[in-house]
Amino acid sequence: MFAKNNLTQTDMIALSRAHTVGFSHCSRFANRLYSFSPSSPVDPDLDPTYAQKLMQACPQNVDPRIAINMDPATPQTFDNMYFQNLVTKKGLFTSDEVLFTNKASQATVIDFANNPGDFSGAFDTAIRKLGRVGVKTGNAGQIRVDCTAFNS
């Protein structure tokens, strides 16, 4: 049983929907295009046509300031296209596509992709919980310069 404010798996899936608007820098997903693995430089969980488009937008050694839409279909609409993109292997980040490829979360993604009514309240619930997580102050934590790494 989860306490009221603990984020569940469904909350994490719902929050990821934030990637249906806005844009991302090429460096955040370049590994999926050029260096995924020795036998498969392009991530096999990426739709090949989408991968080609991403490579055109983000060639190797691209200007680090270049950013592209996270939702290739409806980048300015807060809709459930994000989940439809995952089903068709057009999730931009590994953390996106894994929500569909992993059996533990796949059913929720398919539900959110097919039934907009089921997910409409899920983001609200999850982002409210996130707002109550609490900010760490003083020695309890640190404000990161780069949100992906501890400050050095």
Residue 79 in marked binding region: yes
**Cα separation of 43 and 6, whole Å?**
32
Of 96, 130, 101, the closest CA to residue 24 belongs to 96
Binding mask 28-57 for ligand HEM (x = CB under 6 A): x-----------------------------
Q: Where are the alpha helices (DSSP H) in the chain?
A: 9-16, 31-34, 48-57, 81-87, 94-101, 103-114, 116-131
Residue 137 in marked binding region: no
Residue 125 in marked binding region: no
How many residues appear in the chain? 152
Told to check if 12 binds ligand HEM by CB under 6 A, we report yes
Told to check if 16 binds ligand HEM by CB under 6 A, we report yes
Which residues contact ligand HEM (rule: CB under 6 A)? 12, 15-16, 18-19, 22, 24-25, 28, 67, 93, 95, 148
